[in-house]
Structure 1
Amino acid sequence: MKYMGANELRDAYLKFFESKGHLVMPSFSLVPKNDKSLLLINAGMAPLKPYFTGVEEPPRKRVATCQKCIRTGDIENVGKTSRHGTFFEMLGNFSFGDYFKNEIIPWAWEFITETLSIPKDKLYVTIYLEDDEAFDIWTSKTDVDPSRIFRLGKDDNFWEIGVGPCGPCTEIHFDRGDGKITTVEEFVKAADEDRVVEFWNLVFTQFDKDEEGNYNRLANPNIDTGMGLERITTIMQGVENIFEIDTVKNILGTVSKIAGVEYKTDADKDVSLRIVTDHVKGVTMLICDGVQPSNEGRGYVLRRLLRRAARHGRLLGIKELFLTKIVDSVIENYGSAYPELVEKAAYIKKVVSLEEERFNETIDSGMDILKSYIKELEESNLNVLSGEKVFKLYDTYGFPLELTEEILEEKSMKVDLEGFNKEMKEQRERARAARATTSYMGSDEIPVNKIEATLNTSFDGYGNTKHEATVVILADSAEFREELSEGEEGFLVVDNTPFYAEMGGQVGDTGIITGDNFKAEVIDCKKNPGGKIYHVIKVVQGTITANDIVTLEVDNIRRNNICKNHTATHMLHEALREVLGEHVNQSGSYVDSERLRFDFTHFSALSAEELDKVETLVNEKIMEAYSVCTDIMTIDEAKNSGAMALFDDKYSDEVRVVSIGNFSKELCGGTHVSNSGQIGLFKIVSETGVAAGIRRIEALTGFNAIKHFENKNEIIKEVTSTLKCNEKDILRKLHSQTAELKEKEKEIQELKMKMVQGSEDEILNSVKEIKGVKVIASTVEGLDGNALRDLADKLRDKIGNGVVVLGSGSEGKVNLVAMATRDSLEKGVHCGKIIKEVAAITGGGGGGRPDMAQAGGKNPEKLGDALEKVYELVELLVK
């Protein structure tokens, strides 16, 4: 058996199946497309589900891929076992109703024993208990020793997930041990002990399981195989751990070098080295595919991986920011297979760097919070930290559970694990509910989502917004229909439509459909998961019937406004790249008839000057009245011509390239104006951040931009009328009035302070003494926060040893301040704790240091009750 590198193995597998007539497709993005059932792609076949279900026609009936995958279900085991990893690659070959068992079983044996030269006496095969067909093929079409084939039950050799496509499978195993296994019992024991390792699963998808549990034979059975690249590489390289294969070992070596820790000298440190290696690999791939750190969904997966990696770097003794150095190593080892990693290297590293910096800040905040929790436990003579607080540290501050356990253990304390797990379970249930899975593809179970892949629906509306077509399908939300009558809403499919279906950030067209006996409004136009175009309609007159010849007419005014915004989006993209730099790439967009929204990669808010430059550049190019041209070319021709494309989009062999003069060139299937001058005017109305490293611009074009200026003009007229001045003098007048107001406010505050000073003696006479600590809790009317602090400071100086809590409330607002002397702190007084409880009574919140704290509230009528509570709190705090 010859040594083979992971990159060499990947290439060998894909070339082998290419020689068997398979189309080798590049890996799909880790972010699922049109599949609500998955958060991230977790198996090689997952992106191909539309082909298996028949809702989309595959580009070829035989396909082979090496698919990037992420699984985090066993994240706690990563680094602790030899097999667990969050990111992995799945080699797979697939047949969509073409070949079946007769072909794949001999091919698999040929690849393993001839291409890879794995000794036949190291291999075992398992099949489903009842699959005599597979046994006959194995024994008649390969030279496998029949005594090395074992029959196992449904749990081991039958693939199914709920209802839908399923079937038996055959698995191929490698024996790491010596001596022949002769019985099923011996084989199962060897597998449990990791002596025997399964590395290739061939699934024979030949049934469709229905709701009643019946297994109905598929007319066209499919083949779905999966072989983990990391696992087969461990076999080919004679290692037992996925962290010891060449590509992963190289990354681990980088981590080891940065940490100054030699691998395999300390078991605990080895775990941290492996976790950093695995997680940064996953993080790099996720960011490359457009995932951004956030507190929910796939962004939360990314943030969790990144923060765990950063935390384990700290455990290894790494003090400085280091994750981008590991990213370099990931790109070096995987860039040849995934060139988009090289193209997006700077962007990936910037996102990682920003998130690592943010984590360093939050971990320090988490440490402060944990210390306060420990102090509370000590003061209460308790030794178990509640699951709720542990989860808050974990979820809000990214504070790992094991770190909390470790720190508590040093204090002879422990975590309420049951409570923590309950909180974690509730969060997972919330996330699951948010994904709202409803079917195999997670899409709504409406009839138009089940249209056969062989049905053709085409769009012919680039230069044409009205033409005739034939009604192919009618449906409502529950079933296919032969007709829809006046007042009914439903779905309509025609063979050819001028209506643009929502796609690529551009909304669907609206308009009307008419026939001899009916009229219907088109409310929206969409594509189902299989890419079939359907119209959401409401019949306003008569009855529409399947096979009717109809006239479809797009709302031209709305379409024209959409076109203006879409073309302006391309121009904005190019202007941003020219003003900010070539790191700017589209991250998302939304275009309708009212406005455009454009998300892009950039790492700081745009300055007013930068926004002005971008807006001016777009308007200059609009006024140059560039022709907007579209060309159909191959994907390679398009890229060679300089056309921009999104890395995570899959394009067909031929693509549509939209050019705006010599200014902008992008791959795009949307509708556009024919000349940039038709846009008229471009106005940016907002610029905000939506995620780490992602900014968003919203803008208006044409008459909507003009309306924006008209509205601003009306506001200016109202201001001039109110200020009784002309437009030129607005700023001067405002500055003058603002200065006057500030002066008046200052005078008012001085008067209030004089009034308060007169009542200082009265406040001091209200002092109560509790356990040797003087306490003032008093209401002072009409003071703002600054004046209240000044007064509290003076009173604290005068009482010598004690605490002062003052409150002021008016017009639905409460200000509270607490200050304490050093002597009173030694006796247990804590202003932060006092103010938190007091503010809660007034419907607010706040906190602060032991010697000074402030808060706000919104119920002035509760101020008396709140201040009365101060005496009770001091009684509890003072030792």
Structure 2
Amino acid sequence: MKTAEIAQRYLDYFKKNDHTIVPSASLVSDDPSILFTIAGMVPFIPYLTGVVPAPFLRAADVQKCIRTNDIEEVGKTARHGTFFQMLGNWSFGDYFKEDAIRMAWGLLTTSEADGGLGFSPDDLWVTVFESDDEAAELWQKVAGLPAERIQRLGAEDNYWHTGQPGPAGPCSEIYFDRGPAYGQDGGPAVDDNRFLEIWNLVFMQDLIANVRSKVDFDIVGELPNKNIDTGMGLERVAFIKQNVENMYEIDQVRPVLDKAVELSGRAYGENAEDDVRFRVIADHVRSAMMLLSDGVTPSNEGRGYILRRLMRRTIRSMRLLGVDGPTFLELFTASRDAMKDSYPILLTDWARIERYALGEEETFLRTLVAGSAILDEAIDVAKKAGTTTLAGPEAFLLHDTYGFPIDLTLEIAEEAGVSVDRAAFDELMLAQRTRAKADAKSRKRQIADLTVYSEFRSLGETTFTGYTDLETSSRVLGILVDGLPVTVARAGEIAEVILAETALYAESGGQVADKGTIVGDGFELDVIDVQKPVPGLISHTVEVLTGEVTIDAPATTVVDAANRRAAQQAHSATHLVHAALRDTLGKTATQSGSLNRAGYMRFDFAWNQALSAETKTEIEEITNNAVQDNLEVTTRIMSLDDAKAAGAMALFGEKYGSTVRMVDIGGPWSRELCAGTHVSSSAEIGLVSVIGEASVGASNRRIEALVGQDAFRELAAERALVHELTASLKTPRDQLAARIAELSANLKSAEKKIAAFESRALADRVPNLVNSATTRDGWTIVAENLGTVGSADDVRALVTQVRERLSSQQAVVALAGVAGDRPVIVVATTQTARDAGAQAGALVKIASGVLGGGGGGKPDMAQGGGTDVHAIAAALEAVTRAVGAA
């Protein structure tokens, strides 16, 4: 049974049982405390916790998930994968334990011919929470399971909660017995390798508080509405139904593994280490592809870093299989073809996905070359220093800064006969993970506070009137101060105010929040920010300027009209620039982010090379031609499917409901899904002036522009500058560029002559410096203050020349000077001096400490500096003493 068929049977079954079929949410989670949708229940958290009223009583879905906390186990077990699909059915205050058990058992044990999954009841076991007598009895009553196949486990295994105060409850897990070949008998309590969990039924019935750990919390009451939250692992069911050994061999994953086998020329199933690598590749390629399809792009932080790590682990695994060249074209294509039936967007969006994948591969292959060079140098320094161990911080720097995998560092170092201080490396990694966990925990605490909005959200969605009105009368539904509900906010306080209606736009879709005020009888509030803390609810962060505002008080929102008008110009200009980019570069130049505020727009798009000056001019010209043509701007509310059918562009990573707002500028030329505010015709934009274009990642570019009056002011300022230059240089405007180029060439020529004079002047000082050398106990020491110097490079040049003159001696050269009001010191050693124990790096650290700074370098030459120019003499004396003690 194909994986897609299993998913369809699941949805069909629950549709027949009166469930609303809900499409998968994005892998990019709305919850700011987590990077990804890590479980099937994540998109339903607002409904399960009661923050947002559920739009249906029961639902079912196939949810895409990404989980990387067990990334090191991928490929080593049958069930660990970073990307997986969770089948779920949900009840929001409707059915509970008995019906949940009945429906789960029915789907599992109904024959394939009758639309079920065809599991034999004899192969299924269940676990229940240790004190949940009701669930244990229902499994016997509803499913006819014998008592010996119903096992009771503790809270660690069979009690679910989010880790925060709120809804929780016992759960019941269904296991499949894979048979004696996979382990010992005795049920999941004895062996969870043989007995594989396939479905978890959560009975959300309790309200908990004082959560101290997974198993330590207080149950403080029952929920008024009991919910059902279930999750069945699609990949786990698939590898059982397809009679293969693990999830990497199912129909949606195995083709990538087979392609890696083909590219490497190695066999699968012959070498345990190679098999793990093949499975890692199969898993990570699929995960990376699905993240790209949901708008995540490679970067060095957050979601982008996880994506980059998956891709780089894939490249590393292929390298360990003997393949050093590019492979992503073949691997990602194989994954696309295996997944396209379940996710057609992979076909329609393939050009963008492929561009990012190949761009990241090209970048990392270059990184491997650069990292190898840095590592080779570090190994060489370690050997020359007489050590056979590469320091942990150096290995960590390669890993953290350059993205150079630690296992590759270990491999190359071992080949060179050098070990790595793995304990120090692991300590640095642990410290980094601890910081990351603390940061995540901090964000998680913040999201827990969203429950304060549940009472307000239960009253309905906030009505936004700002598309047509700049003033709206309403009433105060709620007030929060420091995250807590209050009944009044007084002058001088910062508060959140929630209204039934508002004309103020909440930040979203790249458009910043409106500026404005909220006024009422006896109070005035300055609006600092407007946000949507939970779906459907708008919250205004305000400063109470005068009076005091109370619950139920009549209040009027007043939008700053000039600021709104300028923001609308910028947002509409962004749509025009997007259309112009697609006209110029092609349909793969899709939007990956934007920012619109009064007078300014920023637009990020998928592209992996800089735009030429001609291309930027063409984009600017197309945009302003559209402004001049006074194109009509229209908006329509329609279903998401109808909008997509009409060709509307959607922003990757944005969340869209079943009903969307489509914005046309000039008909289909610019047609996008957008909830922002816009001008009514393109001429209202006024002017768009492109001020910059740059890279924001391996496959992302950013174009920036000023809009309206801000664009005019910028051009006026440039015109004034041109007038000033023509007057100053006494050159006509059309000859100005040539005149400046001539002056620049003359300046460079003069600088070269000056540099030559300075170089000769420096060289003239070498004999005197050599003659200044002192000898002590077989050491030759030059330690001189050069006074004011042009730069540290001048000092290095002198040190190098003096050392050459003394190369046959056991010599140390230490020269210092003042460059840019700061002291600089350079120390060099001859080979004979190094053999006798003198290390330039150690000596320069001593001197830099005296100067009030730091420094370092190699044993033969090192540089340092500090802040105290008056300590140069003492620093040189410290070097001399250290050499004498060597």
Matched, 1:685 2:691: yes
CA pair 417-122 structure 1, distance change in 2 beyond 3 A: same
Per-residue deviation, 1:416: 4.0
Separation (CA, whole Å) in 2 of partners of 1:63 and 1:171: 20
What secondary structure sits across from 1:137 in the alignment? helix
- Distance change (3 Å), C-alpha of 1:855 and 1:483: closer
Q: 1:431 aligns with which of 405, 430, 436?
A: 436
Which whole-Å CA distance do the structure 1 matches of 2:411 and 2:750 have between them?
58
Q: 1:453, 1:530 within 8 Å by CA — same for their partners in 2?
A: no
Amino acid at match of 1:6: T
Q: Which residue of 2 aligns with 1:18?
A: 15
The answer to whether the aligner puts 1:233 opposite 2:238 as a matched pair is yes
Find the counterpart in structure 2 of residue 196 from structure 1. Answer: 195
Q: Give 1:302 deviation, angstroms.
A: 1.8
Counterpart contact for 1:164–1:440, Cα < 8 Å: no
Task: Tell me which residue corresponds to 1:96.
Answer: 92
**SS of corresponding position for 2:535:** coil
Q: Report the 3-state secondary structure (helix = DSSP H, G, I; strand = E; otherwise coil) of the residue aligned with 1:537.
A: strand
Give the deviation of 1:556 after TM superposition.
1.1
3-state SS of paired residue (1:609): helix
Superposed counterparts of 1:157-196, under 5 Å: 157-162=158-163, 163-177=165-179, 186-188=186-188, 190-192=190-192, 194-196=193-195
Deviations 1:155-178 (A, max 9, x none): 222112332211111111111225
The Cα offsets for residues 306-348 of structure 1, whole Å up to 9 and x where unpaired, read as 2221111111000211123211111111122122222332322
CA 876–671 in structure 1, closer or farther in 2 if over 3 Å, else same: farther
Alpha-carbon deviations, 1:566-593, whole Å to 9, x = none?
Answer: 1001111111111122111111112122
CA displacement at 1:362 relative to structure 2: 2.9
- The superposition leaves residues 12-33 of structure 1 with CA deviations (integer Å, 9 ceiling, x where unpaired) of 2122222222222222222111
Inter-partner Cα distance in structure 1 for 2:103 and 2:759:
92
Match of 2:33 in 1: 37
| Corresponding residue pairs, total | 869
> Is residue 662 of structure 2 the alignment partner of residue 665 of structure 1?
no
Contact 1:447 1:477 in 2 (8 A): no
The answer on 1:121 being equivalent to 2:122 is yes
Does 2:615 align with 1:610? yes
Report SS of the residue matched to 2:513. Answer: coil
SS at match of 2:627: helix
8 A Cα contact 1:36 1:436, kept in partner: no
Given that 1:210 and 1:216 are in contact with CA atoms closer than 8 Å, whether structure 2 keeps it comes out as no
Letter in 1 for 2:313: R
Give the Cα–Cα distance (whole angstroms) in 2 for the partners of residues 254 and 402 of structure 1.
24
- The residue identity in structure 2 corresponding to 1:577 is R
After superposition, the Cα gap between the structure-2 partners of 1:870 and 1:353, relative to the gap in structure 1 and judged at 3 Å, is farther
What displacement does 1:199 show? 0.9
Q: Which of 712, 722, 738 is matched with 2:718 structurally?
A: 712
Q: Does structure 2 conserve the Cα–Cα contact (< 8 Å) formed by 1:499 and 1:554?
A: yes
- SS of 1:539's equivalent? strand
Q: Which residue of 2 aligns with 1:518?
A: 523
Q: Is the 2:175–2:199 contact (alpha carbons within 8 Å) kept by the matching residues of 1?
A: yes
Shift of 1:606: 1.9
**Contact 2:474–2:501 under 8 Å retained in 1:** yes
Look up the equivalent residue of 2:637 and give its one-letter code.
I
Query: Which residue number in structure 1 is paired with residue 650 of structure 2?
Result: 645
What residue number does 2:56 align with? 60
SS of structure 2 residue aligned to 1:509 = coil
2:568 aligns to what? 563
Q: Does the CA-based 8 Å contact 1:491-1:535 persist in structure 2?
A: yes
**Uncovered stretches (5+) of structure 2, i.e. residues with no partner:** 111-115, 211-216
Whichever residue aligns with residue 812 of structure 1, its letter is: D
Amino acid across the alignment from 1:80 = K
Equivalent residues in 2 for 1:523-538, closer than 5 Å: 523-538=528-543
Give deviations 1:149-203, integer Å, cap 9, x for gaps. 2222222221123322111111111112259999xx93256424x2211111111
Give the SS at the match of 1:187: coil
Aligned counterpart, 1:73: 69
Partner residue, 1:362: 367
Shift of 1:676: 0.5
State the alpha-carbon separation in 2 of the partners of residues 575 and 840 from structure 1.
57
Retained in 2: the 8 A contact 1:471–1:492?
yes
**Counterpart position of 2:83:** 87
SS at 2:555 equivalent: strand
Determine helix, strand or coil for the equivalent of 2:477. Answer: strand
How far has the Cα of 1:816 moved from its partner?
A: 7.4
Deviation of 1:763 after TM superposition, in Å, equals 2.7
Aligned residues of 1:86 and 1:282 also touching (Cα < 8 A): yes
| Cα displacement (A) at 1:797 | 6.3
Q: Displacement, 1:210?
A: 1.9
Contact 2:592 2:652 in 1 (8 A): no
Between the aligned partners of 1:181 and 1:782, the Cα distance in structure 2 is 76
Residue 592 (structure 1) aligns with: 597
Superposition RMSD in Å: 3.6
Distance 2:637 2:599 in 1: 29
Work out the CA distance in 1 between the residues paired with 2:732 and 2:283.
66
Provide the secondary structure at the position in 2 that maps to 1:214: strand
Residue deviations 1:397-431 (CA, integer Å, cap 9, x gap): 33333344445556776544443332222212222
Counterpart-to-counterpart distance in 2, 1:676 and 1:785: 56
* Conserved 8 A contact 2:450-2:533: no
SS of match in other structure, 2:696: strand
Superimposed CA distance per residue, residues 66-105 of structure 1 (whole angstroms, 9 cap, x where no aligned partner)? 2222222222222222222222221111112222112211
Q: Which range moves more in the overlay, 623-632 or 383-392?
A: 383-392
Structure 1's 89 and 772: CA in aligned 2 closer, same or farther, altered over 3 A? farther
Q: CA deviation at 1:856?
A: 8.5
Query: What is the identity percentage for the equivalent residue pairs of Structure 1 and Structure 2?
Result: 39
- 1:492-511 alignment to 2 at 5 Å? 492-511=497-516
User: Structure 1, unaligned stretches of length 5 or more?
Assistant: none
Contact 2:594 2:601 in 1 (8 A): yes
User: TM-score, normalized by length of structure 1?
Assistant: 0.90
Work out whether 1:455 is the aligned partner of 2:460: yes
Q: Cα distance, 1:674 vs. partner?
A: 0.4
Distance 1:391 1:789 in 2: 29
Distance in 2 separating the partners of 1:827 and 1:725 = 65
Distance 1:603 1:875 in 2: 57
Q: 1:658: Cα distance to partner?
A: 0.7
Shift of 1:459: 0.9
The question of 1:401 aligning with 2:403 is answered no
Number of the residue aligned with 2:207: 208
Alpha-carbon distance change, 515 to 684 in structure 1, aligned in 2, over 3 angstroms: same
Find the counterpart in structure 1 of residue 705 from structure 2: 699
Question: More deviation in 461-470 or 508-517?
Answer: 508-517
Q: Deviations over 1:119-158 (max 9, x none)?
A: 1111112222222222333223333334422222222221
One-letter amino acid of the counterpart of residue 289, structure 1: D
Which moved further from structure 2: 364-373 or 235-244?
A: 364-373
Secondary structure of the residue aligned to 1:596 is: strand
Contact 2:789 2:795 in 1 (8 A): no
Q: For residues 346 and 827 of structure 1, what CA distance do their matches in structure 2 show?
A: 62
Q: Is the 8 A contact 2:791 2:819 kept in 1?
A: no
**Which residue in the other structure is 2:106 paired with?**
110
Cα distance in structure 2, aligned partners of 1:181 and 1:574? 60
Conserved 8 A contact 1:293-1:691: yes
Contact conserved, 1:32 with 1:39, CA < 8 A, in 2? yes
Which amino acid is 1:139 matched to?
Answer: Q
Separation (CA, whole Å) in 2 of partners of 1:260 and 1:139: 53
**1:34-60 deviation per Cα after TM superposition (whole angstroms, max 9, x unaligned):** x12212221111122111112223342
How far did 1:215 drift? 3.7
1:467-505 Cα shifts (integer Å, max 9, x gaps): 322333333334433344444442322222222222111
Change in 2 beyond 3 A, CA 1:823/1:100: same
> How far is 1:595 from its partner?
1.4
Measured in 2, the distance between the counterparts of 1:612 and 1:874 equals 63
State the one-letter code of the partner of 2:89. Answer: N
SS of equivalent to 1:265 = coil
2:465 and 2:472 in contact (8 A); partners too: no
Instruction: Give the CA deviation at 1:815.
Output: 7.5
Provide the C-alpha distance between the structure 2 equivalents of 1:876 and 1:72, rounded to a whole number of angstroms.
54
Question: 1:205, 1:221 within 8 Å by CA — same for their partners in 2?
Answer: yes
Residue 255 (structure 1) shift: 0.7
